[in-house]
Chains A and B, each alone.
Chain A
Amino acid sequence: MSYLEYAVKTTPTGLRKFLYMNWPLTLLLISVASAGFLMLYSVAGGSWRPWAEPQMERFALGLVVMFIVALIPIWFWRSMSLLAYLGSVGLLVLVELFGTVGMGAQRWIDLGFMRLQPSELTKVTLVMVLAAYYDWLPSEKTSRPLWVLLPVFLILIPTALVLKQPDLGTALLLLAAGGGLMFLAGVHWAYFAAVIAAGVGLVTAVFKSRGTDWQLLKDYQFRRIDTFLDPSSDPLGAGYHITQSKIALGSGGWNGRGFMQGTQSRLNFLPEKHTDFIFTTLAEEFGFVGGITLLTLYGLILVFCLVTALSTKDRFSSLVTLGISLNFFLFFAVNMSMVMGLAPVVGVPLPMVSYGGSAMLVLMAAFGIVQSAHIHRPR
Chain B
Amino acid sequence: MKRPTKNTGQAHKRLTRRALVLGGMQLAFAGGLAARMRYMQVEQADQYRLLAEENRINIRLIPPTRGRIYDRNGQVIAQNSPSYRIVIVREDAGDVDKVIADLARLIPLKEDEIERAKTEMRRTAPFLPVTLADQVTWEDISKVAINAPALPGVTPEVGLTRQYPRYEDFAHVVGYVGPVSDYDLSKMEDPEPVLMIPRFQIGKVGLEAKKEDLLRGKAGAKRVEVNATGRVMRELDRREGQPGADLQLTIDADLQEYAQARLAGESAAVVVIDCETGDLRAISSTPSFDPNLFVRGISVADYQALTQDNHRPLANKTVQGTYPPGSTFKMITALAALEAGVVGPGDTVYCPGFLKVGSRRFHCWKRGGHGMVDLETSLKRSCDVYYYDVALRVGIDKISDMARKFGLGIKHDLPMSAVAAGLAPNQEWKRRVHGQEWLIGDTANASIGQGYMLASPLQLAVMSARIATGRTVTPRLIRSINGVEQPTGAGEPLDVNPRNLEQVRKAMFSVSNDRRGTAYRSRIIADEFRMAGKTGTSQVRNITKAERAAGVIRNEDLPWERRDHALFVSFAPYDNPKYAVAVVVEHGGGGSKAAAPVARDVMLQALYGGTPPLEAYPVADRERIKEQQKRLEGDRRPKARPEKKDRA
Contact = CB atoms under 8 A, between A and B. Distances in A.
Interface of A: 1-2, 5, 136, 138-139, 142, 180, 183-186, 244, 246-254, 263-264, 266-269, 283, 287-288, 291-292, 295, 298-299, 302-303, 306, 309-310, 313-315, 318-319, 322, 326, 329, 333, 336-337, 340, 342, 378
A254 B42 contact: yes
Q: 9 smallest A-B Cβ distances: which pairs?
A: A250-B48, A139-B11, A251-B52, A267-B227, A253-B45, A268-B228, A288-B41, A251-B48, A250-B40
Contacts of B228: 244, 267-269
5 contacts: A139-B14, A246-B48, A283-B41, A303-B23, A303-B27
Interface in B280-334: none
Interface of B: 1-2, 4, 6-12, 14-16, 18-20, 22-23, 26-27, 29-30, 33-34, 36-38, 40-42, 44-45, 47-49, 51-53, 55-56, 225-229, 233
A310 B19 contact: yes
Contacts of A252: 41, 45
A313 B16 CA distance: 10
Contact of A186 (B1, B15, B23, B226): B15
B163 to A, nearest CB: 40
A290 to B, nearest CB: 10
A246 B33 contact: no
Contact of B30 (A267, A295, A340): A295
Contacts of B36: 340, 342
B7 A333 contact: no
A173 to B, nearest CB: 14
B485 to A, nearest CB: 52
A275 to B, nearest CB: 17
Given A5-B2, A287-B41, A340-B37, A251 B19 contact: no
A171 to B, nearest CB: 20
Contacts of A264: 52, 55-56
Contact of B45 (A185, A186, A251): A251
Given A5-B2, A253-B41, 20 more contacts: A139-B11, A184-B18, A244-B55, A246-B48, A247-B51, A250-B44, A251-B51, A251-B52, A252-B41, A253-B45, A263-B52, A288-B38, A292-B38, A303-B23, A313-B8, A322-B19, A329-B30, A333-B26, A333-B33, A340-B36
A322 B12 CA distance: 13
Contacts of B56: 263-264, 267, 269
A5 B36 CA distance: 48
Nearest to B46: A253
Contact of A318 (B10, B19, B20): B19
Contacts, number: 151
B11 A291 contact: no
Contact of B49 (A1, A253, A292): A253
B27 A299 contact: yes
Contact of B34 (A250, A295, A310): A295
Q: Which of B7, B41, B48 has the most CB of A within 10 A?
A: B41
A295 B33 CA distance: 8
A81 to B, nearest CB: 13
Contacts of A185: 15
Nearest to A263: B56
Given A247-B51, A283-B37, A314-B7, A319 B15 contact: yes
Given A268-B229, A302-B27, A183 B18 contact: yes
B40 A246 contact: yes
A247 B54 CA distance: 10
A183 B22 contact: yes
A2 B1 CA distance: 8
B22 to A, nearest CB: 6
A329 B24 CA distance: 12
Contacts of B1: 1, 136
Contacts of A310: 16, 19-20
Nearest to B38: A288
Contacts of A136: 1
Contacts of B55: 244, 247, 263-264, 267, 269
B352 to A, nearest CB: 90
Contact of B15 (A184, A250, A267): A184
A266 B19 CA distance: 42
A248 B52 contact: yes
A306 B18 CA distance: 11
A185 B14 CA distance: 8
A318 B226 CA distance: 52
Contacts of A139: 6, 9-11, 14
A130 to B, nearest CB: 13
A298 B42 CA distance: 21
A329 B233 CA distance: 39
A317 to B, nearest CB: 10
B123 to A, nearest CB: 16
A226 B22 CA distance: 30
